A and B are shown apart, each in its own frame.
Chain A
């Protein structure tokens, strides 16, 4: 079933017309209300009237995560706080969060786009949806929640963690749809095995998984272990949260809700738009958002777009699974982690920056972040208890900055490889 057929199956021309109209309106709004945008456009020698259609999109300046940080917390909001009814935030590069605000209309749009993605995934009103994404500042839980209610499905707002209860409710309530991170779904599958629950004992048929990268191999593993169809959903809080794009039952790319979020692919080096089908950095312009519209926001995710009509009948452009990042951000258990965050914690603790290395592993389907810190003169103490307390202090500080648990290991100086150019700070062994 298709939630909004006239949009999701619109011709390319119709879509471009809708996008053009909404883009013109958005550019005018941000130019009037957000000093940061006005300044950027003036620097580029642009006035709102220069944007006459979607063909003019590439003239507009980019927006980055640092713009949000520089205008922390509410500087990029286009409407007065009295119009904002919800605030979400995600982790930022230097401890400051990226803050987004939603008006009533924004929440309606969000519920609409999530409703579409649910239908794409084959979810309908008879379904019992267990939402095991975190509820709170993170957009995952509440974003999925209102979409599910909007299509009339029954929601179990269990939030993340508490695996035993997740499994119990799955059995007792007859959950048919599971929404969580892909790695958590595998973790649940293993816990099921351990506690003797068979997939045949459950009514699960669909999983909607996102918030972290995953491979086709993982998909096959999840599908066979849980006996479900595993659907990939994409979103980021800056754009709206989950529901920016999602796969349909054919699992051949994620349909972008492009009447609300216009995607572009650019070369992350030259910043020029790339031809159709080329792999590059994904950039979004939100054209209906009121709280915090973003113009050409650089997601740093690398992917490509496919404009062909899908077998499901939808014409919404499809984006491939993300192939990586154009920056050094890591996604660990659904949380965004920048190596610079860890560096700034270590800097706070001594006068010179120590050498460090981040190692990411996936053990038992859960991401583990290991932080190796070289014990230089400034850190070294002759006493074991001082070294142990240093290790605990570093662990605690990093954990409270990132919001996820880490394993800190003290290593000898010069054990971390030095390279001539940029230091290699991250080893990701997750094979994703």
Chain B
């Protein structure tokens, strides 16, 4: 299953306590974080998250002075089995869709979710929907 989601990105300086502050703000606002990853350099980092209510997350983070942005990303649900990710990536590679970044998490024993930021989001969804074989039950 493939869908497009709004990912929330936050600019963070590499100083202690900053990440804690973001998670606190979201916790107090009752926003659950489904998945997140951090990309960092020596000076700064970008926190990327999938949350159920991205608009609300953006509002509360902005109100607390953070630089926030939403980015469309592809959520691909794959079987939680060896080789599933490889299969998806092979398809994207064959179709010349580049990946800016990617992170993944497993939902349960059966399925995992891959968050993909591709060069061309519409084509990525189309290609995956077309080629990706649904997991057998």
- SS class, residues of chain A in contact with chain B: loop
B43-A409 in contact (CB<8A): yes
B-contacting 9-mer, from A77-85, A179-187, A278-286, A374-382:
A374-382
A384-B13 in contact (CB<8A): no
A375-B11 in contact (CB<8A): yes
A-contacting 9-mer, from B28-36, B63-71, B103-111:
B63-71
Given contacts A412-B12, A412-B13, contact A384 B46 (CB under 8 A): yes
A380 vs B12: C-alpha distance in the bound complex, in angstroms?
11
A165: interface (CB < 8 Å): no
B11-A383 in contact (CB<8A): no
A384 vs B46: C-alpha distance in the bound complex, in angstroms?
7
- SS class, residues of chain B in contact with chain A: strand
A412-B43 in contact (CB<8A): no
B77: interface (CB < 8 Å): no
Given contacts A375-B11, A387-B44, A412-B11, contact A382 B69 (CB under 8 A): yes
A379 vs B44: C-alpha distance in the bound complex, in angstroms?
14
A383 vs B71: C-alpha distance in the bound complex, in angstroms?
10
* Chain A residues whose CB sits within 8 angstroms of the CB of B11 once the complex forms: 375, 380, 387, 410, 412-413
* Chain A residues whose CB sits within 8 angstroms of the CB of B12 once the complex forms: 412
A377 vs B70: C-alpha distance in the bound complex, in angstroms?
11
> How many residues of chain A have a CB within 8 Å of chain B?
18
A380 vs B66: C-alpha distance in the bound complex, in angstroms?
11
A381 vs B65: C-alpha distance in the bound complex, in angstroms?
16
A279 vs B46: C-alpha distance in the bound complex, in angstroms?
50
How far does the Cβ of A378 sit from chain B's closest Cβ, in whole Å? 10
B43-A410 in contact (CB<8A): yes
A431: interface (CB < 8 Å): no
CB-nearest residue of chain B relative to A391? B43
A197 vs B7: C-alpha distance in the bound complex, in angstroms?
60
B41-A388 in contact (CB<8A): yes
Q: Which of B7, B39, B65, B67 contacts A380 (CB 8 A)?
A: B67
A430 vs B38: C-alpha distance in the bound complex, in angstroms?
36
How far does the Cβ of B14 sit from chain A's closest Cβ, in whole Å? 10
B69-A413 in contact (CB<8A): no
Mask for B35-58, Cβ within 8 A of A = 1, else 0? 000011101101010000000000
A413 vs B64: C-alpha distance in the bound complex, in angstroms?
10
How far does the Cβ of B33 sit from chain A's closest Cβ, in whole Å? 17
* Chain B residues whose CB sits within 8 angstroms of the CB of A383 once the complex forms: 46, 100-101, 117
A383 vs B40: C-alpha distance in the bound complex, in angstroms?
10
A383 vs B46: C-alpha distance in the bound complex, in angstroms?
8
* Chain A residues whose CB sits within 8 angstroms of the CB of B78 once the complex forms: none
How far does the Cβ of B100 sit from chain A's closest Cβ, in whole Å? 6
Q: Which of A387, A409, A413 contacts B65 (CB 8 A)?
A: A413
A410-B44 in contact (CB<8A): yes
Chain A residues 27-77 with CB under 8 Å of chain B are: none
**Cross-chain pairs A/B with CB under 8 angstroms, 16 sampled:** A377-B67, A380-B11, A380-B68, A382-B9, A382-B69, A382-B71, A382-B117, A384-B41, A409-B43, A410-B13, A410-B43, A410-B44, A412-B11, A412-B65, A412-B66, A413-B11
Q: List chain A positions with a Cβ less than 8 A from chain B.
A: 375-377, 379-384, 387-388, 409-415
Beyond A376-B67, A412-B66, A415-B13, 13 additional contacts (C-beta under 8 Å) are A380-B69, A382-B46, A382-B117, A383-B100, A387-B46, A388-B41, A409-B43, A411-B13, A412-B11, A412-B13, A412-B65, A413-B11, A413-B65
